[in-house]
C-alpha cells in the first residue's frame, strides 16, 4: 500500500515545486514507483518535467471535477519510475466550481485513493495558498512535507499552516500526519541561514528532516531545461541533497 504525501506551504518561493519534482525523481531513481500530482494552477511541476503545458488535454482539473478517471490523466515522464498527473492554467477555475459542491474537500481523495495500490509514493505539489485546492490535497494525503526557506521570514505564516493542518485533522482527515519540516535554500556562509536552522530545530526538534537542501545553481537551472536535478546533473550538490531526503523518507516509512 502506497503513501500519499502533500508538499504544502501557503508562502510562495519556499521550494515547494523544486522539492516535489526532485523528491519524486529521487524516489524513482531509488526504485520506488512514484506518481506526482501537480495541484498548482501555475503548472510548474508539469513544465519542470519537460511537459508542454499548452498541450495538456486531461489533468488535475478533470480529476477534481470527476470528468476523467485518474488513469486517463496519468502521463509517463522521462524520469525512471515517475508518472505525472499534469496541471494546466484552467485549474484556476476549479476553486470557484467546487464551492457549491457537496463534500467538495473530498474530490481529490475519492479520485486517487485506489492508486495507492499501484504506487509506493504519491506526491502532491500544492498551490501557494490555503484554498480549496490545498484543502483537497491535505484531505487526500497521509502526511505533509512543509518546506521552509532559510531566510528572515521563514517562520512567518507557519503557525497559520499548522492550524490549517490541525483543522483538517479534526474535520476531514484524522490520520493526516506531518512527514516533516524541510529546510531549503540553505547557504552555510550566511549567519542568518544558520540562525534559521537553529531556530527551527530548537522549536520543532524531531519534526525537522535531517537533510537540509542547500542553495545550488544547478538546482535553479534544471527547470528551465524541463528536467529534474537527477536528470540534469546527477553529480550536483542539489541532486545529493534530494537523494538524501528520499532515502530519509524511505527509511522512516520502512521502519
pLDDT digits (tens, 9 = 90+) for 20-65: 999 999 999 999 999 999 999 999 999 999 999 999 999 999 999 8
The pLDDT value recorded for residue 24 is 98
Share of the chain above pLDDT 90, in %: 74
Give the global pTM.
0.95
The pLDDT value recorded for residue 78 is 93
Contact assessment for residue 78 and residue 231, using Cβ atoms and an 8 Å cutoff? yes
The pLDDT value recorded for residue 206 is 92
Residue with cell 479520485: 111
Distance (Å, whole) CA 128 – CA 125: 9
Distance (Å, whole) CA 18 – CA 136: 21
Q: At what angle do helices 16-29 and 237-254 cross, to 10 degrees?
A: 70
| Sequence-separated contacts (24+) of 198-206 with Cβ below 8 Å | 199/154, 199/155, 200/148, 200/154, 200/155, 203/155
In the DSSP assignment, the letter for residue 34 is E
Number of C-beta neighbours around residue 199 at 10 A = 13
pLDDT band with cut points at 50, 70 and 90 for residue 152: confident
Contact assessment for residue 155 and residue 148, using Cβ atoms and an 8 Å cutoff? yes
Within 8 A by CB and 6+ apart from 8, the residues are 16, 126, 134, 137, 138, 144, 145, 146, 161
pLDDT at 255 over 70: no
pLDDT band with cut points at 50, 70 and 90 for residue 11: confident
Distance (Å, whole) CA 196 – CA 93: 37
Distance (Å, whole) CA 123 – CA 190: 31
Closest by CA position to 185, among listed 148, 234, 233: 148
In the DSSP assignment, the letter for residue 186 is B
β-bridge mates for residue 124, sequence order: 6, 37
Distance (Å, whole) CA 12 – CA 129: 8
Helices (runs of H) and strands (runs of E) counted in the chain: 12, 7
SS3 for 179?
A: strand
Residue 39 backbone phi and psi in degrees, to 5: -110, 30
Residue with cell 529521487: 26
Amino acid at each position: 500500500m502506497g503513501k500519499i504525501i502533500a508538499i504544502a506551504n501557503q508562502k510562495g518561493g519556499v521550494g515547494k515545486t523544486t522539492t516535489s519534482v526532485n523528491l519524486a525523481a529521487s524516489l524513482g531513481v531509488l526504485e520506488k514507483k512514484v506518481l506526482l500530482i501537480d495541484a498548482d494552477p501555475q503548472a510548474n511541476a508539469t513544465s519542470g518535467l519537460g511537459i508542454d503545458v499548452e498541450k495538456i488535454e486531461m489533468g488535475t482539473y478533470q480529476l477534481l471535477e470527476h470528468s476523467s478517471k485518474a488513469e486517463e490523466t496519468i502521463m509517463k515522464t522521462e524520469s525512471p519510475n515517475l508518472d505525472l498527473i499534469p496541471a494546466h492554467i484552467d485549474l484556476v477555475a476549479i476553486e470557484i466550481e467546487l464551492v457549491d459542491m457537496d463534500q467538495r474537500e473530498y474530490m481529490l481523495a475519492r479520485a486517487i485513493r485506489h492508486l495507492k495500490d499501484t504506487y509506493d509514493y504519491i506526491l502532491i505539489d500544492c498551490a501557494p495558498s490555503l484554498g480549496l485546492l490545498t484543502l483537497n490535497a491535505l484531505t487526500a494525503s497521509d502526511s505533509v512535507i512543509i518546506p521552509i526557506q532559510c531566510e528572515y521570514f521563514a517562520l512567518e505564516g507557519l503557525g497559520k499552516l499548522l492550524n490549517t493542518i490541525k483543522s483538517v485533522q479534526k474535520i476531514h482527515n484524522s490520520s493526516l500526519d506531518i512527514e516533516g519540516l524541510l529546510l531549503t535554500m540553505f547557504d552555510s556562509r550566511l549567519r542568518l541561514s544558520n540562525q534559521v536552522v537553529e531556530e527551527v530545530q530548537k522549536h520543532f526538534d524531531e519534526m525537522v528532516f535531517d537533510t537540509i537542501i542547500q542553495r545550488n545553481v544547478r538546482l535553479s537551472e534544471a527547470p528551465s531545461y524541463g528536467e529534474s536535478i537527477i536528470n540534469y546533473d546527477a553529480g550536483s550538490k542539489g541532486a545529493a541533497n534530494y537523494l538524501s531526503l528520499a532515502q530519509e523518507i524511505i527509511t522512516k516509512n520502512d521502519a
